[in-house]
Amino acid sequence: MAYKLLLTDAHSPLGMALSHVLEQETFTLVQPQPGDLVWNDAKAVDAYLREQQPDIVINSLAWSPAPARQRQTLTVSAAKSLAQACAALEVCAIHLSSHQVFGGENKTAYDESDQPAPVDVGGRALWRAEKAVAQFLPRHIILRLSWLIGARGDNLLTALVGQLSGGQRVSVAPNKRGAPTFMTDVGRVLVAMVKQILCGADNWGVMHYTSGDPCSEADFARHLAKLLEQRGQLYGDIEEVDAVEPVTSAVLSGRRCLENFGIQSRTWRQGLASAVGAYLAERETLSSNG
């Protein structure tokens, strides 16, 4: 009998990427449709989990396509409801979170042992959600991620490629640092964790995963510009400015992922050209159909 996974959101760009990766495995994947469940209704969530009987829950609701304020409220309330329901059924969960729980002031990578200190509303919501998971569910993994990138959705890659290929000047910060991480690579990490948990791994708590190549926003933009130039599709230019946002560093240490699950970080450089090509091809298709 195949093990059953519940993916809470498969409709955001991250959720779709995770769904694509997980569907290639032998798991039975449960993917609720929008409107199937009110995630902040604790009784409804408990009843749904009792009906579905998942072996592991993967909570990606922090990236749901809802408006920002609604998503922030959902992130906290759903985390609590899911944690309580999972605890009652003795089901473990992997809760996806973000570098935004930190203030961004570190000059080195944030370790899992560092104390969160969010500086904005979104970060505070993520931190409250993490605390709810830790409070109510003993067997949990909180997996924090850095800059998520991919060929779809609103992310740093699509924003920069869209502007540079569209003849715009992009303003990027040389002192704003992160580790661009493909959403599909997060799927790879989850598969590795799930398989080991199902085989008896007993490793819980906060973990970080990012790509193995931290860089500045300006460095990332230059790599994208070079790829566009090679394709003859570079029409914009790059202007470096000082970062104005309070967060300047989204670099995370992946120490515990490596120590507990043997998961090695991958470079974002390897898949960058294909992601740029996929974004441009999809944009061309949408333009032709529109």
Q: What is the pLDDT of residues 93-110, one digit of tens each?
A: 999 999 999 999 888 899
121-138: average pLDDT? 98
So what's the pLDDT on residue 290?
59
- Calpha distance 163→170 (Å, rounded): 7
Q: What is the pLDDT of residues 156-165, one digit of tens each?
A: 999 999 999 9
Query: Angle at the Cα of 135 (from 130 to 141), degrees rounded to 5?
Result: 50
pLDDT beyond 60 at 247: no
pLDDT beyond 60 at 60: yes
Q: List, as one string, the DSSP characters of 19-53.
A: HHHHTTSSSEEE-PPTTS--TT-HHHHHHHHHHH-
pLDDT beyond 80 at 52: yes
* 248: confidence class by pLDDT, cuts 50, 70, 90: confident
So what's the pLDDT on residue 170?
95
So what's the pLDDT on residue 2?
84
CB 127 within 8 A of CB 94: no
Q: Mean pLDDT, the chain, as a whole number?
A: 94
pLDDT beyond 90 at 67: no
* 225: confidence class by pLDDT, cuts 50, 70, 90: very high
Neighbours of 243 (CB within 10 A): 18
Q: What is the pLDDT of residues 180-204, one digit of tens each?
A: 999 999 999 999 999 999 999 999 9
So what's the pLDDT on residue 1?
64
pLDDT beyond 80 at 244: no
How many Å from the N-terminal Cα to the C-terminal Cα in the chain?
45
So what's the pLDDT on residue 34?
85
Q: Provide the token pair at 98.
A: 């973000």
Assign 3-class secondary structure to the chain.
Answer: CCCEEEECCCCCHHHHHHHHHHCCCCCEEECCCCCCCCCCCHHHHHHHHHHHCCCEEEECHHHCCCCHHHHHHHHHHHHHHHHHHHHHHCCEEEEEEEHHHCCCCCCCCECCCCCCCCCCHHHHHHHHHHHHHHHHCCCEEEEEECCEECCCCCCHHHHHHHHHCCCCEEEECCCCEECCEEHHHHHHHHHHHHHHHHCCCCCCEEEEECCCCCEEHHHHHHHHHHHHHHCCCCCCEEEECCCCCCCCECCECCHHHHHHHCCCCCCCCCCHHHHHHHHHHHHHHHHHHC
So what's the pLDDT on residue 235?
95
Using CA atoms of 16, 51, 192, 137 in order, give the dihedral in degrees to the nearest 10.
Answer: 110
| CB-facing half-sphere around the CA of 219: CA atoms within 13 A | 12
* Structural domains of the chain sorted by starting position, each given as residue range(s) with its CATH number in brackets: 4-150+180-213+250-267 (3.40.50.720)
So what's the pLDDT on residue 245?
59
